[in-house]
Structure formats: C-alpha cells, structure tokens
Amino acid sequence: MKLTKKRHACVRLEKDNRTLVIDPGVFSEEDAAIGADVILVTHEHPDHFNEERLRAGLQSNPAAELWTLASVADKLSAAFPGRVHTVGHGDAFTVAGFDVQVHGELHAVIHPDIPRITNVGYLVDGSVFHPGDAFTLPNHPVDTLMLPVQAPWNKISEVIEYVREVKPKRAIDVHDALLTDLARPLYDLQIGNLAGADHLRLTPGDGTEV
C-alpha cells in the first residue's frame, strides 16, 4: 500500500486504485476525504471528525462508505442511508479490498474531571494500525504504527513506551498539528533513540510504501 500523510491525524492508504482515509478532521485539508472509497473515523473530537469533510468525501463518490462509532454515525446515517456503518471493539470487515479490524474502546484520559468518550483504532490489512486518541494495544503484529506523537493527553515517555509495547517495524507520526517545528527535532531524537523501531516523520502530502 501507499500511505500518504495528511495534516494532523489524517492518513490516506491506496492500493489497487482504491483509497481508504482515516480521521479527516478539522485540522486536515478540506479535500482530505475527497475520492475515498472507504472512510474510517476513530472518535468524535473535531480534530478527527469533521462533518463537512466527511460529507464532501461521501458526496464525491456515491459508492464511498463510512465506518465509525455510534456517536459519529448518528450524525450522518440519515443523509447517506446504507453507507454509514457503526463499529466497535472486536469487529472485522472487508470493504473496497481493505481488511479492517477494530480495536479499543475508550479515549485516553485527558484529565480526571473530563469524561472519557468512545475511541476505536483500526488495523488495516493486518499491517497498519491507527489508534486514534489512545494507546491501544492491537494484540496483533503491526508493521506500521501511526503514532500519536503529541496531544493534551500524552507525554513523550508514554509515546516511547507505547512503541515499545506494540513493537512495530516502523512508527510514523500523526497527531502532530500542535507540535512546533522548534520541538520536532527533540521528539525525533528521543523517539528514534529510545522507542526501538524505525521512526519516520512525514510532512503533509508526503508518502511512503507500507
């Protein structure tokens, strides 16, 4: 597959002329979901779920389908009947040639006073895992981990330990819109030296084979 990094938490995966997009949120490009055959959303926070971007993607391809949790699906299912599917931990499905497994149940703790919401991660073709906003362990070998590198709910030691626990062949940064260019070399150095996997940072629009 070809993986293209979009802004923040959004990525595009392409194979056999089919396209899968994960988490086209408000920080992502306006056309992040355009042309997708499959769209996956991990949770309802706006940096992962933007209704306008999802509607644009579903309207651009009448055969496109959205797979997500109930809090997102409820907002779009009436407008796109039969094309919006609700998923949860343990589900597995094949769509547009992509095999998808669903892992995880809750968003990471931001603060004890903030209620935790549902969050699911997606393992695509048994190879690429996007955890959304959680340090979910997929309990499956992972070639490429989409690594939430900076967020209000994590710190660098947790990010490093997460890579060590998942043990991917490579970790590629996502969830990075709040990380300044000044701080990036420090994150690159620490994750690269300590996490135990190849670490790759792509700028939006850059791609790699996975």
Cβ-based burial of 78 (10 A; exposed 0-12, middle 13-18, buried ≥19): exposed
Q: Report whether 3 contacts 208 (CB < 8 A).
A: yes
Q: Which two tokens stand for residue 149?
A: 């590198």
CA-to-CA distance for 2 and 12, rounded, in angstroms?
8
**Domain 2-200, CATH homologous superfamily name and number:** Ribonuclease Z/Hydroxyacylglutathione hydrolase-like (3.60.15.10)
Three-state SS for 12?
A: strand
Q: Are 36 and 11 in contact (CB under 8 A)?
A: no
Reported as a single tens digit per residue, the pLDDT across 157-191 is 999 999 999 999 999 999 999 999 999 999 999 99
Residue type at 68 in one-letter notation: T
**3 three-class SS:** strand
Q: Where are the domains of the chain?
A: 2-200
* Phi (first) and psi of residue 47, to 5 degrees: -75, -5
C-alpha dist (Å) from residue 108 to 25, 63, 120, 160, 195: 18, 33, 11, 16, 20
pLDDT in tens, 56-103: 999 999 999 999 999 999 999 999 999 999 999 999 999 999 999 999
Cα 189 from Cα 209, distance rounded (Å): 23
Query: How far apart are the C-alpha atoms of 191 and 183, rounded to whole Å?
Result: 13
pTM: 0.97
